[in-house]
Amino acid sequence: MMVDVVKSSDGMDKVILKEPRGSTVQVHLFGGQVTSWKNERAEELLFMSSKAIFKPPKAIRGGIPVCFPQFSNIGTLEQHGFARNRFWSIDPDPPPLPASSIKKAVIDLLLKPNEDDLRIWPHIFELRLRVALAPGGDLTLTSRVRNTDSKPLTFAFAFHTYLSVSDIRYNFFTSVSFQTSGFLTWVKMGFLLI
């Protein structure tokens, strides 16, 4: 398992996770966003728009954007909130998650509000994201939100995943497995609702 932090061709920092069979994941620190997930045959599993601009402050189109603290345009913030338009840091000392016997390539990211965020959404928080790549190419994203303020915190969160499909007419879910900490997960009419 390997984890490298590199500069992309556009000059932005990204993390590359690799597993021995050849699967890879790329995570841009801008947006805390997974922008590539390739299987051991180097086939791209995520869709990236040809219109994707890798230049802040514009959100990256495609991959797996993190929507927080708002999803869609339901609320007073920009569509899908501001997390996907901020630079995340690599978390040097993440809180523990349940142990796994499977060796994985892992990166932990952290987003805290800056002064601009507090002006438009006055809540102090920590948003953590663990991206893990297991042998065989299994990708796991684990998010955790911590209210570090003295007042209640209400928010929405979503992974807005863009899967790459060759022909939508011939693609469907045969099984879905998510751990959602007690929330119901289901697939209905081709949409995954969490």
pLDDT digit string, tens, across residues 19-53: 999 999 999 999 999 999 999 999 998 888 777 77
Instruction: Say if CB 132 and CB 109 are below 8 A apart.
Output: no
Instruction: Say if CB 99 and CB 88 are below 8 A apart.
Output: no
H/E segment holding residue 120: helix 115-120
pLDDT (mean) for 67-84: 83
Record the pTM.
Answer: 0.80
39, 64, 95, 117, 161 from 76: Cα distances, Å: 39, 23, 31, 13, 23
Q: What is the pLDDT of residues 125-183, one digit of tens each?
A: 999 999 999 988 999 899 999 999 999 988 888 887 777 777 666 655 554 555 544 33
What pLDDT is attached to residue 22? 93
Q: Which domains does the chain have, with CATH numbers?
A: 2-193 (2.70.98.10)
158 - beta bridge partners?
67
High-pLDDT (> 70) share of the chain, %: 85
CA distance 72 to 119: 20
